[in-house]
């Protein structure tokens, strides 16, 4: 029943957006009295959180599988393949992507339950960099200004959390830029910002990922 509720709620979000999610409407579609819904979800926000966690896990599993399957290949190629897998997931799960990376839902604050699932995709991408560093196939960035003291200090906890102790600040900054570029360009495409000036969005995405992999120092 919980799975049925989530599937029906996901269909509601696809049709009406996350702001339109209603326990009463989901119950009606399932032929349930609305009070029965509370046996499974205490509130609309709890149901919304379950949808978000489910979407993050789906994206995370997809990315992790690709990163695992490309182990041993060139780091730059691994980054591009992972980026394209993320894009493919987003194209197939448009309303899930919008739920995760689109406009925040009014009145909703994501609880701590979403943190671990939400970092799965980024941790999978970090694994590519960590593997490259271990294998001697990570070249530190050679251009650009030095990382500021304040930014360097903010990397201390991040470096420990992601097991990047031997990675330079400049590389961590490049990693953050590559990660944000990937999702930034994908969001531009998903919400129509590249319309009328990009002939092949997938090829642009691939080219951009390859450029960021090079900037990041992932040696082929």
Question: Burial level of 43, CB count in 10 A (0-12/13-18/19+)?
Answer: exposed
pLDDT digit string (tens) for 154-183? 999 999 999 998 899 999 999 999 999 999
pLDDT-derived band at 197, boundaries 50, 70, 90: confident
Mean pLDDT of 113-125: 95
pLDDT digit string (tens) for 62-110? 999 999 999 999 999 999 999 999 999 999 999 999 999 988 888 889 8
How far apart CA 53 and CA 113 sit, in angstroms, is 8
Instruction: Name residue 218's beta-bridge partners.
Output: 138
Residues across the chain: 220
SS3 content of the chain, % helix, strand, coil (to 5): 70, 0, 30
What phi and psi, each to the nearest 5 degrees, are found at residue 218?
-80, 105
Lowest mean per-residue pLDDT among 32-46, 52-66, 112-126: 32-46
Flag whether pLDDT at 7 surpasses 90. yes
Whole-model pTM?
Answer: 0.92
Architecture in CATH for domain 53-216: Orthogonal Bundle (1.10)
The reported pLDDT for the residue numbered 220 is: 78
Query: At 108, which helix (H) or strand (E)?
Result: none
The reported pLDDT for the residue numbered 166 is: 86
The reported pLDDT for the residue numbered 151 is: 94
What phi and psi, each to the nearest 5 degrees, are found at residue 165?
-60, -35
Q: What is the CATH number of domain 1-42?
A: 1.10.10
More confident call, 44 vs 84: 84
* Distances 79 to 35, 58, 112, 158, 182 between C-alpha atoms, Å: 47, 19, 28, 20, 10
The reported pLDDT for the residue numbered 131 is: 95
The residue among 213, 160, 207 whose CA lies nearest residue 185 is 207
Mean pLDDT of 174-194: 94
Q: What are the residue ranges spanned by the domains of the chain?
A: 1-42, 53-216
The top-scoring range by mean pLDDT among 1-5, 19-23, 98-102, 120-124 is 120-124
71, 133, 63, 119: CA torsion to nearest 10:
150
Asked whether the beta carbons of 158 and 172 are under 8 A apart, the reply is: yes
How far apart CA 157 and CA 120 sit, in angstroms, is 18
How far apart CA 18 and CA 7 sit, in angstroms, is 14
| Chain mean pLDDT for the chain | 92
Name the 3-class secondary structure at 218: strand
The reported pLDDT for the residue numbered 34 is: 82
Tokens 């490259």 correspond to: 132
The reported pLDDT for the residue numbered 17 is: 85
136: left (phi over 0), alpha (psi -120 to 50) or beta: left
How far apart CA 175 and CA 209 sit, in angstroms, is 12
* Distances 212 to 8, 59, 77 between C-alpha atoms, Å: 39, 21, 11
């Amino acid at each position: 029943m919980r799975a049925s509720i989530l599937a029906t709620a996901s269909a509601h979000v696809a049709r009406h957006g996350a702001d339109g999610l209603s326990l009463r409407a989901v119950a009606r579609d399932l032929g349930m009295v609305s009070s029965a819904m509370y046996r499974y979800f205490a509130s609309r926000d709890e149901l919304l959180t379950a949808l978000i966690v489910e979407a993050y896990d789906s994206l995370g599993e997809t990315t992790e599988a690709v990163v695992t399957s490309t182990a041993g290949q060139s780091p730059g190629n691994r980054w591009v393949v992972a980026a394209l897998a993320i894009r493919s997931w987003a194209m197939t799960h448009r309303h899930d992507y919008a739920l995760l990376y689109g406009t925040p839902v009014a009145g909703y604050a994501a609880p701590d339950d979403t943190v671990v699932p939400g970092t799965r995709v980024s941790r999978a991408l970090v694994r590519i960099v960590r593997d490259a560093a271990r294998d001697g196939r990570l070249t530190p960035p050679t251009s650009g200004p030095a990382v500021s003291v304040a930014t360097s200090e903010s990397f201390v906890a991040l470096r420990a959390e992601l097991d990047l102790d031997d990675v330079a600040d400049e590389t961590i900054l490049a990693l953050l830029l590559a990660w944000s570029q990937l999702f930034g360009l994908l969001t531009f495409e998903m919400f129509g910002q590249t319309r009328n000036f990009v002939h092949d969005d997938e090829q642009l995405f691939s080219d951009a990922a390859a450029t960021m992999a090079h900037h990041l120092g992932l040696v082929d």
